[in-house]
Amino acid sequence: VCGSAAEAAGFVTKALKVLAQIGKNDDIALAALATHPFERKEDNEIVHDQRYEAFAQELQIVLKNFLISGLHMHIAMPDENAAIRAYNTFIKIFLFLWH
């Protein structure tokens, strides 16, 4: 827990530098995306997909009252070794963020 906004900003800045270095060591560039700070839940479009609709049925009121966004990516890899390096780097980043 940070005691101030400046302390939180410093922590995030340091963490991003460490993550960028981890990625650089494995020839991977990091990118981050998030929901726009001014987005409103009323503006979100509902995806009509069987999996999403099952998710909506399960969460019901939670899904209707909170802004939930997600990102799904497919990334092409030139070969098996590149895919394994990318996976291993992701694990390093995940473990760094988890602790």
Q: What is the pLDDT of residues 13-31, one digit of tens each?
A: 888 888 888 888 878 777 6
pLDDT tens figures, 54-93: 877 887 776 666 665 555 556 778 899 988 988 888 788 7
Cα separations (Å) of 53 from 35, 49, 58, 64, 72?
21, 6, 9, 12, 17
Q: Mind listing the pLDDT tens digit for each residue in 49-63? A: 888 788 778 877 766
60 alpha-carbon distance from chain centroid: 23
pTM of the model: 0.38
